[in-house]
Chain A
Amino acid sequence: MATRHSRSAARLMMAPAVVLLLGWMLVPLIMTLYFSFRNYFPLRPDRVPGWAGFSNYERFITSSSFWPSVQTTLVIVGGVLVITVLLGILLAMLLDQPMWGQGVVRILVIAPFFVMPTVSALVWKNMFMDPTNGLLAHLWRVFGAEPVAWLSQVPTGSIVMIVSWQWLPFATLILLTAIQSLDGEQLEAAEMDGAPPLKRFWFIILPHLARAITIVILIQTIFLLSIFAEIFVTTGGAFGTRTLTYLIFQRVLESQNVGLGSAGGVYAIILANIVALFLMRIVGKNLDA
C-alpha cells in the first residue's frame, strides 16, 4: 500500500522536470522539423515561403561540405576525449600522491574550467598561437625553429588542443575523486605480492576507474558535440575545421537559409543519437543507472 502511495507520489514529483524538459525538447524540435520542410529565407521576404518537401534534407546531405563536417566533428570529439581521459588519469594519479601544497596545485589544474570558451579561444589564438606575436612563436624562435602558423597548418589539432585544455580539469576532477576512493589496502597488498606498478595500474586502478571514465566520456561528448565558440573565434570554419554544428550555423546565419539549416539540425540530432547509442553500447554497462 505504502509502495503504491509512493509510486504515484513519485510520478507526481518527477512530473515538473519531465514536463519541462519535454516542452524544451518538443517545442524546438517540432519547430525545427516544421522549418526543415519549408523554404524560409529571412532576408528574402519577396520569396513567398512554401513547402519544400525533402529538398532541404537532400541538399544538406548532398552538399560537398556535409561528410567532411561529420568527419571533423568526430575527429574533434574523439581527439579531445582521448587526450582528456589519458592525461586526466595521469594527472589524477599524480595529484593523489602526497605532496606539499596539494590544494594549490589542484586549484591551478582546475582553473581552465572556469574560463569562458570565448575568452579561452581568444587568448589562445592571439596570445599563444599567433605566428608573429604569439608566445609559442617566440619560444620556437628561441630554439632557432621557424614559428608554426598553428591555426592554418594544424588547424584541427589546434582546436583539439584548446578544447582539451578547457575540459582536462573536468576529467581530472572526476577521476581524482574516483581514485581517492580506491581502497589503499588492496593496492598495498598487491605491492607486497610484488606486482609491478604497470600491472597494479592495469588490474586494480583502471577497473576501479571504469565508471568514472564512462561518466567523463558521456558528459563531455554531450558538450563537445556542440562546441562552437572555439571554432568561431579561431578559424571561422576554414581549413577543414567546420563541424556539423558550425555548418548549421553557416546555413542559418551566414546564408540565412533557415529551412536548410533546420534540416541540418535534424541530421545533427540523428548523429548525436547515433553517437550516444554507440557510447551506451561500449561503456553503458559501466553505468548501472
Chain B
Amino acid sequence: MSIRTALRAATALALIAGGVSAETITIATVNNGDMIRMQGYTDQFTAATGHEVEWVTLEENVLRQRVTTDITTKGGQFDIMTIGMYETPIWGANGWLVPLDDLSEDYDVADILPAMAGGLSHDGTLYAAPFYGESSMIMYRTDLMEKAGLEMPEAPTWAFVREAAAAMTDRENDINGICLRGKAGWGEGGAFITAMSNSFGARWFDMDWKPQFDTQPWKDTLEFFVGMMSESGPTGYATNGFNENLNLFQQGKCGMWIDATVAASFVTNPDDSTVADSVGFALAPDTGLGKRSNWLWAWALAIPAGTQKEAAAKQFIEWATSKDYIELVAANEGWANVPPGARTSLYENPEYRKVPFARMTLDSILSADPNNSTVEPSPYVGIQFAAIPEFAGIATQVSQEFAAVYAGQQSIDEALEKAQAFTTEEMEAAGY
C-alpha cells in the first residue's frame, strides 16, 4: 500500500517535473507536529523531482517576525513561507505573493474546503495552499460528564457550558471544570476571546472602523469569561495558552477544553494522553444570537514574489498539499495523523470518517465563515482576527490588558477603557 502510494506520487511528480532542472529550495516553517512530519518525507519529494529542500524551522512567533521582515524588505531568503490565514490576504493584496492560479489538473484545487480557500485568497485569487486547517470545538471528558449527571448536546450554549464546568469541578482532586486560553498574544488568548465575543454579539470595529470596546457585548463577554474561569478554571489561567491547556487536559485535570480542532488527535493519542479513551467532542458554544464561538485558521504554504525558483517551489506546494501526500501519511502513520481540515475529499473518505473527531472537525470548519463572522455587520475579514496590517499589534496589546484582568490586576471596565483608547489611537494614526 505504502509503496504503491509512494510510486503514484512519484509518477505524478515526475510528470510535473519535466523540464525543470534540479534546484535547492529554502522553506521557512513553523515547528508544529504536522510540519515536522512533512520534513521527514522530504526525501520522497527529492527522489521524485531532484529538487533538494532546506528547512528553516522556527517557533511560531519567531517565524512570523522572521518572514515578515524578509517579505517587506524583499530580502529573498525563502522560496516558500509557511503563513496563516491572517497574513495571506494582506500580503496577497500587496502583490508580495505568487498567485497560485495555475496549479495542475491533478492537484484539484476545487477540492480545497471552500472556507479555507476563501480565507487564503484575495479578490478570488488563491495565494497560499492550505497544509492543514482547523476550527475550534469543545473537547470534554465523557466520564466526568457522566459523573456529573449531565449530557453534552451537539451544539451547547455558553450557559450550559458554565453550568457543566461548575458541576465537573473538583478542587480536591485537582480537576478544573474548564480550561481556556488566557495568555497574552493575539494568536493565543486574543484569538479565543475574540472568537468568543462573536457569539456574544461583539465585534472589533463597526462599519466605520470605529473600535467597539465601549459596547455592552464586550463587557458581557469578559464578565462571563472571568466569572466562569474563577468558578471552574485552573489557577494561573492568565498565562495558559494552547500548550499549557493541552498538558492539563492530557493529565486529566480539565473537564472541558475549547480549543483548536487539531488538538483532538493529541488528546486521543494514548501514548501522550492519560484520558485518551474518554474524550467527547461538541461544537463550540453560542448564546443563541446566531454566531458560534469557533474560529477558522489554516497554516498554508505561499511563494514570495521575486523568488528565482518559482517552478520548483510550486512543485513542492503541489506535493505537500496534495491528496497523495495525505495518503502517504495515512499509509505510514494511520489516518488519525494526516494533516486535517484542508480538503473536502478527506472527509468523504470512509477510512477517515472512522476517526472519532473527523465529523465534528468538519462541522466546526463548515460553521465558520470569515467573511461574515459577527452578529452586527463588520468591515473586516476574519473570525478571531481582522485581516488588516494593524491588527496584530493592536490585538496583542488588547490581549495583554485582558490578561491583566484574568490575573486580577485590574477591573474589566479599566481594561476595556484602555483597549478602546489605544485601539482608537492606533487606528487614527493608521489613517482609518
A and B touch in the complex (CB under 8 A): yes
**In the complex the two chains form, is A45's CB within 8 Å of B94's CB?**
yes
Which residue of A42, A149, A238 contacts B404 across the interface (Cβ within 8 Å)?
A238
Q: Check if B426 sits within 8 Å of A255, measured CB to CB.
A: yes
- Evaluate contact between A253 and B68: CB separation under 8 angstroms: yes
Interface string of A38-68 (1 = CB under 8 A from B): 0001111111000000000001000111000
Known contacts A47-B431, A236-B184; A132/B404 CB under 8 A: no
- Decide if A221 is an interface residue (CB 8 Å cutoff): no
Q: Which residues of A contact B90 (CB under 8 A)?
A: 43
**Any chain B CB within 8 A of the CB of A72?**
no
- Count: A-B pairs, CB below 8 Å: 104
**Known contacts A131-B236, A149-B239, A238-B184: A44-B247 contact under CB 8 Å:** no
Complex contacts, B431 vs chain A, CB 8 Å: 47
Q: Are B403 and A239 in contact (CB under 8 A)?
A: yes
Render B223-245 as a binary contact track against A, CB cut-off 8 A, 1 for contact: 00000000000111011000010
Across the interface, which residues of A come within 8 angstroms of B426, CB to CB?
Answer: 255
A237 interface hit (Cβ, 8 Å): yes
Chain A residues within 8 Å of B12, by CB: none
Return B301 CB to nearest CB of chain A, in Å.
20
Q: Report if A132-B393 is in contact (Cβ < 8 Å); known contacts: A149-B235, A149-B407, A236-B184.
A: no
B396 at the interface (CB under 8 A from A): yes
Please measure, in the bound complex, the distance between the C-alpha atom of A251 and the C-alpha atom of B425, giving whole angstroms: 14
A251 cross-chain contacts in B, Cβ below 8 A: 393
Known: A256-B72, A256-B389, A256-B393. A64 touches B235 (CB 8 A): no
What is the minimal beta-carbon distance from B295 to any residue of chain A, in angstroms?
20
A132-B236 in contact given A149-B407, A235-B184 (Cβ < 8 Å): yes
How far is A199 from B407 in the complex, measured between Cα atoms in Å? 46
Instruction: Decide yes or no whether B192 CB sits under 8 A from chain A.
Output: no
Shortest beta-carbon distance, A197 to chain B, in Å? 43
Shortest Cβ distance from A41 into B: residue: B389
With an 8 Å Cβ cutoff, the count of chain B residues facing the other chain is 43
Cβ-based interface call for B167 (8 A): no
- Find the B residue at minimum CB distance from A131: B236
- Residues in A with CB closer than 8 Å to B238 are 149, 152, 239
User: Chain A residues near B430 (CB, 8 Å)?
Assistant: 41, 44
A244 to B239, CA, bound (A): 22
Inter-chain contacts of A238 with B (CB < 8 A): 184, 399-400, 403-404
A149 to B425, CA, bound (A): 33
Q: Is B275 an interface residue (CB 8 A)?
A: no
Check A79 for interface membership: any CB of B closer than 8 A: no
A268 CB to nearest B CB, Å: 18
Asked if A120 is at the interface (CB within 8 A of a chain B CB), the reply is: no
Does any Cβ of A come within 8 Å of B331's Cβ? Answer: no
Q: Is B3 an interface residue (CB 8 A)?
A: no
Partner of B421, one of A44, A64, A132, A149: A64
Q: Report whether A255 and B185 are in contact in the complex, using a CB–CB cutoff of 8 Å.
A: no
Instruction: Give every chain A residue within 8 A of B392 (Cβ-Cβ).
Output: 254-256
- Does B349 interact with chain A (Cβ within 8 Å)? no
Q: Is B343 an interface residue (CB 8 A)?
A: no
Write out the residue numbers on chain A whose beta carbons fall within 8 Å of the beta carbon of B248.
Answer: 132
B244 touching A153, Cβ below 8 Å: no
Given known pairs A59-B429, A64-B422, A239-B404, the reply for A152 and B393 (CB within 8 Å) is no
CA distance A250 to B392 in the complex (A): 10
Contacting A at CB under 8 A, from B24-71, are 61, 65, 68-69
Interface status of A188 (Cβ within 8 A of chain B): no
Is A257's beta carbon under 8 Å from chain B? yes
Distance to closest chain A CB from B405 (angstroms): 11
A236 to B409, CA, bound (A): 16
Q: Is residue B323 contacting chain A, with contact meaning CB distance below 8 A?
A: no
Partner of A64, one of B244, B247, B403, B418: B418
> What's the Cα separation between A11 and B236 when bound, in Å?
59
CA distance A171 to B335 in the complex (A): 55
> Is residue A177 contacting chain B, with contact meaning CB distance below 8 A?
no
Q: What are the residues of chain B within 8 A of A65 when measuring CB–CB?
A: 397, 422
Please name all residues of chain B whose beta carbon is closer than 8 Å to the beta carbon of A152 when the two chains form the complex: 236, 238-239, 403, 406-407
Q: Does B390 contact A (CB under 8 A)?
A: yes
Task: Please tell me if the beta carbons of A236 and B65 are within 8 angstroms of each other in the complex.
Answer: no
Complex interface residues of chain B between 380 and 432 (CB less than 8 A to chain A)? 389-390, 392-394, 396-397, 399-400, 403-404, 406-407, 409, 418, 421-422, 425-426, 429-431
Within B177-192, the residues touching A (CB, 8 Å) are 183-185
- In the bound complex, CA of A41 to CA of B430 (Å): 9
B253 close to A (CB within 8 Å): yes
Known A-B contacts A253-B65, A253-B68; A42 and B73 likewise in contact (beta carbons under 8 Å):
yes
User: Hey, which chain A residues are within 8 Å of B407, CB to CB?
Assistant: 149, 152-153, 239
Bound CA–CA A254/B251 (angstroms): 34
* Among B396, B403, B418, contact of A254 (Cβ-Cβ < 8 Å): B396
A256 to B73, CA, bound (A): 12
Cβ of A133 < 8 Å from any Cβ of B? Answer: yes
Per the bound structure, the CA–CA distance linking A250 and B244 in Å amounts to: 24
- Which of A131, A146, A251 is most buried by chain B, counting CB atoms within 10 A of its CB? A131
Residue of B nearest to A147 (CB): B235
Chain B contacts for A63, CB-based, 8 A: 422, 425
Mark contacts of B336-373 with chain A using CB atoms, 8 A cut-off: 1 yes-contact digit, 0 otherwise: 00000000000000000000000000000000000000
Residue-wise interface mask of B (61-101) relative to A, using a CB-CB cutoff of 8 A (1 in contact, 0 not) = 10001001100110000000000000000100010000000
Residue in B389, B394, B425 whose CB lies within 8 Å of A43: B389
B73 touches A236 (CB 8 A): no
**A-B pairs, 8 with minimum CB distance:** A149-B236, A255-B393, A42-B72, A131-B236, A238-B184, A43-B389, A152-B407, A238-B400
Other A-B pairs beyond A46-B94, A149-B236, A151-B239, 5, CB < 8 Å: A41-B389, A41-B430, A131-B235, A132-B235, A133-B247
B residues at A contact (CB < 8 Å)? 61, 65, 68-69, 72-73, 90, 94, 183-185, 234-236, 238-239, 244, 247-248, 251, 253, 389-390, 392-394, 396-397, 399-400, 403-404, 406-407, 409, 418, 421-422, 425-426, 429-431
Q: List 17 A-B contacts (CB under 8 A).
A: A42-B72, A42-B73, A43-B389, A46-B94, A47-B431, A59-B429, A130-B236, A131-B236, A132-B235, A146-B235, A236-B183, A237-B396, A238-B184, A239-B403, A239-B409, A250-B397, A254-B392
